[in-house]
Amino acid sequence: MLNESLNMTDNPAAILFVDDEPNVLKALVRLFHNEHYEIHFAKSAGEGLELLKQTPIDLIISDMRMPVMNGADFFTQVLEQWPTTIRILLTGYADLQSTIDAVNKGRIYNYCNKPWNDEELKLLVRNALEQKRLSEERDRLAEIVYQQNQALKELNEQLEEKVEQRTKLLKFANQKLDLANEGLKKQYLDSIRAFSRIIEMRPGIKSGQSKYIAETSLMVAREMEMIAEEAKDTFYAGLLIQIGKMCLPDSILSKPYYSIPLTDKQSYLKHAVEGEGLLKGLTQLKCAAALIRHQYERYDGLGLPDGLAKQNIPLGSRILTVVSDFIAFLEGSKTGEAMTVNDVIEQLITRKNSHYDPNVVDTFLKVLKDSTFEPEVTVGPELPPVKKSWKTSQLMSGQQSTKMERPIIEISWGQLKPGMELESVYFDNKPYLKNCIVDQKIINNINALRENTGKNPIIKILMGKK
């Protein structure tokens, strides 16, 4: 995994070896000679500190026992001046107390006993650098979120200033203030929608699904008579539910969930917690972030990250889990193969009381089946109408035939693939294609028209199998 990420950049990770024994340094240099790293070495802690002042270093491997300054004291100084540099200690079995000091004072990432196992040491370095890369990527994304929040704050301050000025000049101050607040909320929602689309530009994250999850969860929330504020949080969480996946490597995102190796599955599931962390500090999204965190909890208490059960799981998270699993089973990102609506319904019903809240499943199925459901619904003045956009199919229940629907989602032109079932393609609000199976010729024609007109098409596809 790390080698793949390192090959994508021109700058290899820089490693510093510090040891007063020349033979040990030579052995370390030989061990990592063929790895994609920039190697530096120092014969003492002092020499290592001087090198650090001149050269950026990603990871340090230092011996514990050295004259003048030992490894624990060396790492203490490294922590103070270069806190993001990873610190690994080489130590003998007799150096237990010294190792404890290094953990406490120098906050080392890990330690390795001498003599070391070559493969174990190389794996330790790979894992440490991968963790550093993921942490830096998380910080970068968090900075993006922070900057957007700052921009929204500035916009908010500007609008409030304008509203304040108008209230001094106009008799209907309260009415003007209400209008300004509604406009601000709409802009905030538009920003969240835009951010959701940015998230789906990441290769491996499928476009259109977050919008479907958000809007369908909103309808389920209304059917369950959830208060407007909580329904809004559920809607926001649905739009941003995949934000944590931006930190996952392509090797995990490209696989169906059931095909991900067990060792990588834990990393995949942690994207829910990463998503909550990326939204930390955005006050208006605090509740939505908590719903994202608990999207992998199970009704029986065997889920992640906190092992919550039944009513202890936020209702919004219970709704998001059912809707997101429905779409994942339907389009194949769970099993690797697309499924029919009927087969997915069977999966949901089978997992009631174990994975899912039975009341949520029943309500979700009612929303799917209810042919009298209003085509446009609104929750709160700040949320737009949600249009029901599904195609009719059939579900046999006993002796009765009940109308069901195949979801239609909007995808970007770059994610169009042969074999998909097109519902429609529009260019500049004019229909171009309807109700056909995509082949390479269709894709080529759409791309050519997009390049000639300079406009992106609106592409909608039917999910699942007939």
Q: 112 near 124, Cβ under 8 Å?
A: yes
Mean pLDDT of the chain: 84
Q: Is the pLDDT of residue 466 over 90?
A: no
State the distance between the two ends of the chain, measured CA to CA, in whole angstroms: 38
Q: How confident is the model at residue 172 (pLDDT cuts 50, 70, 90)?
A: low
For the CA atoms of 319, 322, 324, 330, the dihedral, rounded to the nearest 10 degrees, stands at: -150
Please give the pLDDT value at position 96. 59
Q: 58 near 86, Cβ under 8 Å?
A: yes
Taking the C-alpha atoms of residue 412 and residue 434, their distance in angstroms, rounded to an integer, is 16
Please give the pLDDT value at position 378. 45
Ramachandran category for residue 49: left, alpha or beta (phi over 0 → left; psi -120 to 50 → alpha): alpha
Taking the C-alpha atoms of residue 204 and residue 395, their distance in angstroms, rounded to an integer, is 32
Kindly report, residue by residue over 355-398, the tens digit of the pLDDT. Answer: 999 999 999 999 988 733 333 444 444 565 555 554 444 443 33
Please give the pLDDT value at position 207. 83
Q: Which residue has the higher pLDDT, 466 or 52?
A: 52
For the chain, what are the domain ranges? 2-116, 141-406, 412-466
Q: How confident is the model at residue 190 (pLDDT cuts 50, 70, 90)?
A: confident
- Mean pLDDT (whole number) for 298-313: 97
Quick one: which of 465, 344, 411, 443 has its CA closest to 206? 411
HSE value, Cβ hemisphere, 13 Å, CA-based, for 264: 15
Taking the C-alpha atoms of residue 136 and residue 130, their distance in angstroms, rounded to an integer, is 10
Which segment of 104-113, 117-126, 344-353 scores lowest on mean pLDDT?
104-113
Q: Is the pLDDT of residue 4 over 50?
A: no
Q: Pairing relation of β-strands 37-42 and 13-18? A: parallel
Please give the pLDDT value at position 351. 97
Specify the residue for token string 């696989």.
255
Burial class from Cβ neighbours inside 10 Å (0-12, 13-18, 19+) for residue 258 reads exposed
At 231, which helix (H) or strand (E)? Answer: helix 228-239
Do domains 2-116 and 141-406 share one topology? The answer is no
Query: What is the residue type of 387?
Result: K
Please give the pLDDT value at position 168. 62
Kindly report, residue by residue over 347-360, the tens digit of the pLDDT. Answer: 999 999 999 999 99
Please give the pLDDT value at position 3. 47
Collapsing DSSP to helix, strand or coil, 41 comes out as strand
Quick one: which of 249, 242, 254 has its CA closest to 267? 249
CATH of domain 141-406: 1.10.3210.10
- pTM exceeding the 0.95 threshold for the entire prediction: no
In CATH, what class is 2-116? alpha beta
DSSP string, 85-127: SEEEEEE-TT-HHHHHHHHHHH--SEEEESSPPHHHHHHHHHH
Q: How confident is the model at residue 139 (pLDDT cuts 50, 70, 90)?
A: confident
Q: Which residue has the higher pLDDT, 40 or 175?
A: 40
R_g of the chain, CA atoms, integer Å: 27
